[in-house]
Structure 1
Amino acid sequence: MSIEIRLGVADGVACIAKSRIPIWLLESFYLQGANDVDLLNAYPSLRAEDLANARAYARAHMDEITRLIAENEA
């Protein structure tokens, strides 16, 4: 899986590996109506596999992702 959590990076939240792109941010974009093409265009360093892994992580950790989205929208 291309997801990692590193203390001291992106506040220690789950991100796409070797990046600072948090999973909660990608999921937030999906909830606002973005699709994979939109995100791949916005983040050219991402691959379709990264987005699939991010979605899987978000589904498996929905409480965490929901909390982080709410905290960052406040």
Structure 2
Amino acid sequence: MAAPVSRKASSEGIIRRTPGVVGGSARIRNTRIPVWLLVEIRQAGQPDSEFFLDYPDLTPEDLQAAWSYYEGHKDEIDNDIAENDA
């Protein structure tokens, strides 16, 4: 039986931070979609299924990685949301 994947491991490889790309914020790999934006939209009540209409390049794994990353980096992402709402 395979070992369960930890939440941290599920975001590794999908979530990237690159200086100069979306201000260095955590983002979905190979995109300029920051995790903070996805979290903010979800907090506003958008169901996961609708993300694929607005962001057709996202996969269910990308969203799960974003939610897992947020769980482990809540202060960072909440600060990014606050900075971008200012």
Q: How far apart, CA to CA, are the structure 2 residues paired with 1:65 and 1:16?
A: 13
Aligned to 1:63: 75
TM-score using structure 1 length: 0.96
Q: How far apart, CA to CA, are the structure 1 residues paired with 2:27 and 2:81?
A: 14
Which of 27, 32, 35 is equivalent to 1:23?
35
Q: How far apart, CA to CA, are the structure 2 residues paired with 1:64 and 1:58?
A: 8
Q: How far apart, CA to CA, are the structure 2 residues paired with 1:47 and 1:3?
A: 13
Deviations 1:7-49 (A, max 9, x none): 1100001000010000000000011001111111110000000
Q: How far apart, CA to CA, are the structure 1 residues paired with 2:82 and 2:19?
A: 21
Count of residue pairs the alignment pairs up: 74
Larger radius of gyration: 2
Aligned to 2:64: 52
Percent of matched pairs sharing the same residue: 42
Unaligned 5+ runs, structure 1: none
TM-score using structure 2 length: 0.83
Q: How far apart, CA to CA, are the structure 1 residues paired with 2:47 and 2:32?
A: 20
Unaligned 5+ runs, structure 2: 1-11
